[in-house]
Structure 1
Amino acid sequence: MNKRLPLQIFSALVAGVSCSAMAMTINISLDNDPGKLDPVQSSMIAERMVYQSIFDKLLDLDENGKIVPMLAERWTVSDDQKTYTLFLRKGVKFQDGTPFNAKAVEFNLLRGQEKNSLRRNDLKYIKHISVVDDATLKIELSTPFAPFLSILTDRAGMISSPSAVKKFGDDYVNNPVGTGPFIYKGRLKGASLTLDKNPNYWQAGLPKADQVVYKIMNDVNVAFNNLRSGQVDITNRFPYKELGNPAPGGKYSVINKPSMGFLGFYFNTGKAPFDKKEVREAIDILINRDAIARVVYNGAVSVGHSPFSKAQFAHGVADTPPKVDLARAKTLLKAAGKEGGFSFRLTLPTTPDALQVGQMVQGMLRSAGINVSLDKAELAAQIEAGKAGSYDALMVGWSGRPDPDQNIYDFVVTNGSLNYSRYGNKDVDALLMQARIESDVAKRKAFYDQAMQILVQDVPYVYLNHDNVLFGISKAVTGFRFVPDGVIRTATLAK
């Protein structure tokens, strides 16, 4: 036995050298093609998936949804809740070799406040930024803002290289540079996006893989087949019909966890007939959410009627859907002058489950004389339609954030950056503002409850459910950790 031991050790070492010499690529399927690779211009979950590999954030979330350090090692908050001092990690460099420091953070926060930034409402209360030294930044707010630290765990806290932003200008959306574990190398639009290992990443021993390739597969069934065949290692969506079916040969596992998000559709309140809230409410009470959850989602959602899932402290009675009430719906339509019914277009994603939801909504509204035509569009096109107001009803969901403010404010406040409904109500605006500046959780919840009492009557958005996070993961993959924001972190992945 002793004579054979050196040979075994030698064989193991040779095998280890051979494995390390081979490039390790993690293949991840995305159900939508990421649009703009710039956090200040982003509103797609597929983009957030890619960003996690390219950009580090000032703060992050752990497996329990708790805020933890990232590029900011620690922070302090003043007694009046208006001054945040960030103590930054030293020795970090951007992927273009330029230094990460307090000036770079200042540049990013100011850029996020610009008029064309989708982060402007997240960062609007920043009144002044002081660069104390290379590793210390003081941020003064004009008012207390309870969600501020939570916001820094997402796109508003992602730090781009100032040099790259200045170099590429408007084309920075195609040339992202951060401090993250992987470096953007290129893409085939509609097909794939490739990232290579950052050899100078600040976290020792990371990333584990040499490359990450995101493969665009709009059809969840195609992605599933690629998972089974080994062509992809992780899918960011999993077929609902396959839940409960055993994996052939135990080749993959399924992550099926409640999300912080919601799914539903906007009404364009700037266009008839949706300028009348009676019409919007009539549609809301014609939809059988339990049937949709059972038939389409195989139970992998919780029915809802608000932007707040049970994972958030703002969850309340408003999240209980109304009972289907055809008689009342007809009464409301008559009051709006639409007793003879009407027709409208529902623009929805290209995924099979979204189409099935649309078809069920079609059938449910037909009983009241409402005819729905279904238009399929890629998510990027849907978002552009939402911004332009060139739609009747628009099925766009939200992946959810830890602080409830990030699930409601921009969606319903007057002129909010995600308020595609073009809805406005001064009472709602005031209540949501009070919830933003209040630090006491119980008081914040009371403000959200009051706002929802108005919103369930005005119905600018029809909430259908809170979907689960469903990932398919090859058993060959190691180092995966689930974080409640539903975004795949790649730095620790290996196989």
Structure 2
Amino acid sequence: MADKGWEAPVLMGRRSAGSLAASALLLAGLGGRGARAAAAAGTTLRVALINDLTAIDPVFSQAGFVRNHGFFVYDQLFAFDSQGVARPQMVERHEVSADGARYSFTLREGLRFHDGQPVRAADAVASIRRWSRRDVVGRALAAATEALQVVDDRSFTLTLSRPFALVTEALARPTASALFVMPERIANTPHDVAITDPTGSGPFIFRSEEWRVGDRAVYHRNPDYRPRAEPADGLAGGKVVKLDRVEWVAMPDPATAAAALQNGELDFIEQPAPDLLPTLERNRQIRTMAFNPVGFQVWLRINHTQPPFNDPRIRQALLSAIGQEEVLAGMGIRPSEQVADCPAFFFCGTPLESRTGSPSMAKGDPERARSLLKQAGYDGARVVFLNASDSPLNNAATLVIADAMQKVGFNVDVPTMDWGTLTQRRNRREAPSAGGWSLFITVANVLDGQNPLTNLYLASPGDSGLTGWPQDDELEALRRSWWEEGDVTKRQAILDQVQARAMAVLPYIPAAQFRTLAAYRSNVEGLRPTTIPVFWGVSKG
């Protein structure tokens, strides 16, 4: 049956494949002795990622740790290679009609879910529909879609109602609510209800019975997974698993994690504390690499629905209070890994970098901040700045910015919690005094913020948007214009307008840009700069 469009039409955008590629991927202890003995029988890789795994639904949650889990257990229809080009992954072949309005997809033969059931076109279609109700890119694609139809067990079609040049790029969505294919029975779960069944068809199988929040999550090699024939390239290509087991260990204390890496209890740390890197680099058994070559941005997310930040003048005062050099120094980022002055919403050092309408953010402007607070009649309303103390970089950035805010006159309360708790509390819409919130820090990579379409926190549709709920019709119209414009030169001019408008209304503040190095044991081979931590192709000697 034809599905006449999907839900909640929002904005969409387009970018030439070459430019999109340039701005995408690479612009770069278990419970008992028996379990440990079983693990020792095979090759086990023990990794400490940025956060612990506290949830498993990559559609319901936009948290990076849920996305990381998704790349273990699910596969994608398309995936970005190292040049940012969307390549077929679960799809064997696809065709586009001459007018660009109809896409036909055929899945690879022999794909199976972890429960032994075949992967069907109906599973792919159900997964696309659920994803499209939650993700900013999915909603944009849905708004441009007339019909999404199952043809047979391996084939489905997508028919556009208006131009959308990024169909395969959208289906390769690797972050925020990434598009992973689930069994239809699971994908039919409402998008606002979290799934509990982790069955996928990916290269690893999640061992739910061994998952202990605050301890570890465990993944076993999927013996029935059929990798593509071509070599792994970025997030695309053959996902050849050379490990029997991966243990994702919860180790929030950076010194403890560094010590564990040095004594061999850990094999990989995604983001060691910057002040510990010199010690790790002196150890001949440890190597470092830029796992994310473009780097990260500190995003200060603002609650637009509650005082005081429902007033744009007070949001501007907040902007002026922040000095990026101070934030980076407080985080301990080495000068060689800093971008000391970056007001660009689409990251600095990329083809889409724009500073139009943006002040220098290196030092901040405390006097302007105080003046704006006075003009706005700020009455000392309490600002609740959520702090994830188990994320060292987030914690440091939060404390530095909170201190700068207090110095210009904000009344700041900084409740401490773990990141998993923060990701739950940030969904609350109550006033800060009633258990809600005002601000929080998240750290984003270039896949999160690379252009006006994919930047999940730039979208400002109001209540239907993401936590923080900014609403600005002018910014939304500019985003729509960006992807509807076919002329590359005109599109760049529109992007500058998007940057200027975003700086004026501040759906969030780009508070700093930096790069970190991952660290790993010298007997681990096959790690690649994939931005997102994936462990196919990795071996351990």
Tell me the TM-score range normalised by the shorter chain.
0.7 to 0.9
**1:175 matched to 2:211:** no
After TM superposition, the structure 1 stretch with the greater mean CA deviation from structure 2, 244-253 or 218-227, is: 244-253
Match of 2:440 in 1: 394
For 1:398, the aligned partner's letter is: A
**TM-fit CA distance, 1:55:** 0.7
Which residue of the other structure, out of 248, 273, 276, is the alignment partner of 1:239? 273
- The partner residue of 1:293 within 328, 331, 344 is 328
Q: Secondary structure at the match of 1:196?
A: strand
Equivalent residue, structure 2, for 1:226: 260
1:388-443 Cα distance to aligned partner (Å, 9 max, x none): 23201122233341751354355432137653222211111111122233455444
Q: What is the match of residue 123 of structure 2?
A: 104
CA contact under 8 A between 1:262 and 1:463: conserved in structure 2?
yes
Q: Is the 8 A contact 2:141 2:164 kept in 1?
A: no
Checking the alignment, whether the CA contact within 8 Å between 1:58 and 1:71 is kept in structure 2 is yes
Summarize the Cα distance change of 1:447–1:381 in structure 2 as closer, same or farther, 3 Å threshold. farther
1:258-297 matches, within 5 Å, as 258-259=293-294, 261-296=296-331, 297=333
Instruction: Please say if residues 42 and 118 of structure 1, whose CA atoms lie closer than 8 Å, have aligned partners that are also in contact.
Output: no
RMSD over aligned CA atoms reads 2.9
Counterpart among 180, 200, 219 of residue 158 in structure 1: 180
Partner of 1:321: 360
Equivalences for residues 418-437 of structure 1 within 5 A? 419-437=466-484
Secondary structure of residue in 1 paired with 2:351: coil
Partner secondary structure for residue 529 of structure 2: coil
**Segment drifting more, 232-241 vs 150-159:** 150-159
Q: Please give the residue correspondences for 1:44-443 in structure 2 after superposition, counting only pairs within 5 Å.
A: 44-114=63-133, 121=139, 123-125=141-143, 126-153=145-172, 154=174, 155-163=177-185, 173-186=195-208, 187-203=211-227, 206-245=240-279, 247-256=281-290, 257-259=292-294, 261-296=296-331, 297-299=333-335, 300-302=337-339, 303-310=341-348, 312-318=350-356, 321-322=360-361, 324-338=364-378, 343-350=382-389, 351-389=391-429, 390-401=436-447, 403-409=450-456, 411-415=458-462, 419-443=466-490
Tell me if the contact between 1:259 and 1:466 (Cα under 8 Å) persists in the aligned partners: no
CA gap of 1:165–1:128, structure 2 versus 1, over 3 A, is closer
Flag the 1:215–1:44 CA change in 2: closer, same or farther, 3 A: same
How many pairs align?
A: 472
* 1:461 paired to 2:499: no
Aligned to 1:494: 539
Residue type matched to 1:177 in 2? T
Shift in CA distance, 342/21, structure 1 to aligned 2, threshold 3 Å: closer
1:369-395: CA deviation from partner (whole Å, max 9, x where unpaired): 223222222223223332223201122
Q: Aligned with 2:444: secondary structure?
A: coil
C-alpha displacement of 1:326: 2.6
In 1: Cα distance, 2:108 partner to 2:497 partner: 41
Secondary structure, counterpart of 1:63 in structure 2: coil
Aligned to 2:33: none
- CA distance in structure 1 between the aligned counterparts of 2:92 and 2:427, rounded to whole angstroms: 37
TM score, norm. by length of structure 2: 0.79
- Mark the CA change 1:467 to 1:80 in structure 2 (over 3 Å): closer, same or farther: farther
Residue 14 of structure 1 is matched in structure 2 by: none
Contact 2:452/2:498 (CA < 8 Å) preserved in 1? no
> What is the DSSP-based 3-state SS (H/G/I as helix, E as strand, rest coil) of the residue aligned with 2:124?
helix
Please state how far the C-alpha of 1:185 moved relative to its aligned partner.
1.1
Shift of 1:473: 1.7
- 1:347, CA displacement in angstroms? 0.8
Provide the C-alpha distance between the structure 2 equivalents of 1:191 and 1:103, rounded to a whole number of angstroms.
Answer: 36
Aligned to 1:24: 43
TM superposition shift of 1:156: 4.3
Secondary structure, counterpart of 2:515 in structure 1: strand
**Aligned CA distance change for structure 1 residues 427 and 33 (closer, same or farther; 3 Å):** same
Question: CA separation of 1:94/1:275 partners in 2, compared to 1, >3 Å: closer, same or farther?
Answer: same
SS in 2 for 1:195: strand
Structure 1 residue runs of 5 or longer lacking an equivalent are 1-19
- Contact 2:79 2:87 (C-alpha < 8 Å) held by counterparts: yes
Under a length normalisation based on structure 1, what TM-score does the superposition of the two structures give? 0.86
- Please give the per-residue CA displacement for 1:170-199, whole angstroms capped at 9, x wherever unaligned: 997332111111111120122111111111
CA contact (8 A) 1:183 1:195 kept: yes
Measured in 2, the distance between the counterparts of 1:28 and 1:309 equals 28
Relative distance call for 1:409 and 1:236 in structure 2 (3 A) is closer
Of 137-146 and 88-97, deviating more is: 137-146
The alpha-carbon distance between structure 1 residues 328 and 21, as it changes in their structure 2 partners (threshold 3 A), is closer
What SS is found at the alignment partner of 1:175? coil
Q: Deviations over 1:73-95 (max 9, x none)?
A: 34334454433222321111111
- Deviation of 1:289 after TM superposition, in Å, equals 0.5
Question: For the residues of structure 2 that align with 1:280 and 1:304, how far apart are their CA atoms?
Answer: 18
- SS of the counterpart of 1:173? coil
Partner of 1:8: none
Quick one: distance in 1 between partners of 2:400 and 2:146?
48
Deviations 1:451-472 (A, max 9, x none): 2212212223221123425322
Q: Does structure 2 conserve the Cα–Cα contact (< 8 Å) formed by 1:118 and 1:417?
A: no
| Matched position secondary structure for 2:397 | helix
Amino acid at match of 1:349: A
Larger radius of gyration between Structure 1 and Structure 2: 1
Identity of aligned residues (%): 22
Q: In structure 2, how many angstroms separate the alpha carbons of the residues matched to 1:477 and 1:409?
A: 34
The CA distance in 1 between the partners of 2:119 and 2:259, in whole Å, is 42
2:16 corresponds to: none
Tell me the distance in 1 between the aligned counterparts of 2:56 and 2:504: 38
Taking a change above 3 Å as real, the CA distance of residues 219 and 152 of structure 1, as seen in their structure-2 partners, is: farther
Q: How far apart are 1:206 and its partner, in Å?
A: 2.8
- Structure 2 runs not aligned, ≥5 long: 1-38, 230-238, 430-435
Q: Which amino acid aligns with 1:152?
A: L
Residue of structure 1 in register with 2:491 after alignment: 444
